[in-house]
Amino acid sequence: MRVLATLFAAFFLLQGCASTSLRGTGDLGVVIERATGSVQVIDTTQRSSLGQIAGLGDLSHASVNFSRDERYAYVFGRDGGLTKIDLLQMRIVKRVVQAGNSIGGAISQDGKLIAVANYEPGGVKIFDSTSLELVADIPAVAENGKASKVIGLVDVPGNQFVFSLFEAGEIWLVDVRNPGKPLVTKFRNVGKEPYDAMITADGRFYLAGLFGEDGLAMLDLWDPQAGIKRVMDGYGRGQEKLPVYKMPHLEGWAATGNELLVPAVGRHEVLVIGQKEWKESGRIAVHGQPVFVVARPDNRQVWVNFAFPNNDTVQVIDVASRTIVKTLKPGKGVLHMEFTPRGEQVWVSLRDENRVEIYDSASFAKVGEIRADSPSGIFLTPRAHRTGL
Amino acid sequence: MGRETYLVALLLIPFGGQALAAEPSVARQNEIRHLVLQDCGSCHGMSMAGGLGLPLLPEALRDKPKDSLVATILHGRPGTAMPPWKPFLTESEAEWIVDLLLKGQF
């Protein structure tokens, strides 16, 4: 009898293997476990974790891009590690430690190149996305001979990358159509301390947020010769800034079609920028210093989380009325929010609660959760097809 | 357990003629450790090796006067991204943090 049971068990196990060996990856994603240097692979259809991959180094700050086939994730870690993982086989394919300290990266339009933005030593390194072999190295040395930290690296159409130099206050546009010989166009004096940047969904407008002054620096990639345009100059109107206990992230800036919603720096406000005139068209008072300001894919809602000590709260802005329609208190250490591609769910990481919660974005009801160790960034595979990431 | 004993022993050894910070309660120590690792760590790195903020490893701090390190924590550094932590930490707690940073114990 026991033998029979074992046989049955073996049969079902094999069946299990067979049924999981073929599957798509369009509903998969990765949750960073920042304290343990591991990631969980998640399934947004089943609302579950498929497993954990460890050995990714220091992920206290991390970001993730995906291959264009959505099978591989490239994880950029704080220790300069670039790790390629296979979401289906749930394993590390290759890992290189390519710098002392990196902040993020982007994959090229053709999917063949991975660019990594580094703090230490400051610069950008470009790798072959298949082999992770180094293809080009672009040190971020400014006119004065000093190296800068690189932030706000995005890909743009034409197999190009754009990034900003924090200390130098410059924006560089790099053409990698000939990958071994990158062509760099430098824009100087864009403003003081660009700290992060974003690209509009169409890949046209690159906007760098400035920490050292109130305003944004914008590059129109349809007309780069026109140079940098300053947007929202002096939005603080000379008022003293509130302390910022966590840097806002601009990757999630919400572009709702005609308007951009961006976190103010040192003000408990979300700024609304009219995209036609590139002028302030409003501001929305919120619960704290905004960190991520993320639009639901239909652009009707924008979800906002906050810096310490207000990082137990998420607020939902109704874009049409510019009012807050919901304030959630999911728990301590809300670090990131990621929508499913059509926006019916949003996944919210709660670092200090060791869980990721899943919300229905229409009813705001919690519809699931997964356990995770100090979860931070949540990255779903449809990012593979978004310009900039 | 063994590690805590070791830590207490180290704190009892005077160094450089500077008075050591009064120790926060164990529960508060845990809260502060969490704050340093997670919230300071969001700019300075969880391993204190630096990020957008400067490295806070012992070799990076050793040459700086302890008073000014404590003042930086409490009052921030105007003109930089470093905010004041005075609303969340007492002076002796900031001193305790500096002592631990100088010993590389975060």
State the Cα–Cα distance between residues A347 and A265, nearest whole angstrom. 25
Q: Which domain holds residue B82?
A: 47-106
Q: What is the pLDDT of residues A256-293, one digit of tens each?
A: 778 899 999 899 999 999 988 889 999 999 999 999 99
Q: Do A247 and B81 count as a contact with CB atoms less than 8 A apart?
A: yes
**What is the pLDDT averaged over residues A194-207?**
92
- Distance, CA of A298 to CA of A318 (rounded, Å): 12
Tokens read off for A181: 């010989």
Q: What is the pLDDT of residues A215-242, one digit of tens each?
A: 899 999 999 999 999 998 877 766 788 8
- Chain A nearest-CA distance from B78, in A, is 10
Residues 27-86 of A with CB under 8 A from B: 34-35, 58, 60-61, 78-79
Q: Could you tell me if residue B67 is inside a domain? A: yes
pLDDT of amino acid B86? 96
Asked if residue B95 belongs to a domain, the reply is yes
Question: Side-chain half-sphere of A69: how many Cα atoms within 13 Å?
Answer: 10
Neighbouring-strand partners of residue A218: A207, A229
One-letter amino acid of A213: E
Residue B32 domain flag = no
Flag if A211 and B49 touch (Cβ within 8 Å). Answer: no
Q: In what order do the strands lie in the sheet with A150-156?
A: A150-156, A160-165, A170-175, A183-187
Interface check A103 vs B, CB under 8 A: yes
Domain CATH code at residue B79: 1.10.760
pLDDT at A251: 67
Amino acid at A208: A
In a domain, B11, yes or no: no
Show Cβ contacts of residue A17 under 8 Å, excluding neighbours closer than 6 positions. Answer: none
> Which of B:13-72 have CB within 8 Å of A?
34, 37-39, 41-43, 45-47, 49-52
CA distance to partner chain B, nearest, from residue A38 (Å): 15
Specify if B39 maps to a domain.
no
Nearest of A213, A219, A222 to residue A198 by alpha carbon: A219
Give pTM, 2 decimals. 0.88
The answer, yes or no, to whether residue A10 has pLDDT greater than 70, is: no
Domains of chain A, CATH where assigned:
98-243 (2.130.10.10), 247-329 (2.40.10.480)
- Is residue B36 assigned to a domain? no
Is there a cis peptide before residue A157, judged by omega within 30 degrees of 0?
Answer: no
Which pLDDT tens digit goes with each residue over A161-175? Answer: 999 999 999 999 999
Whether the predicted pLDDT of A16 surpasses 50: no
The count of structural domains within chain B is 1
CB atoms B45 and A101 under 8 Å? yes
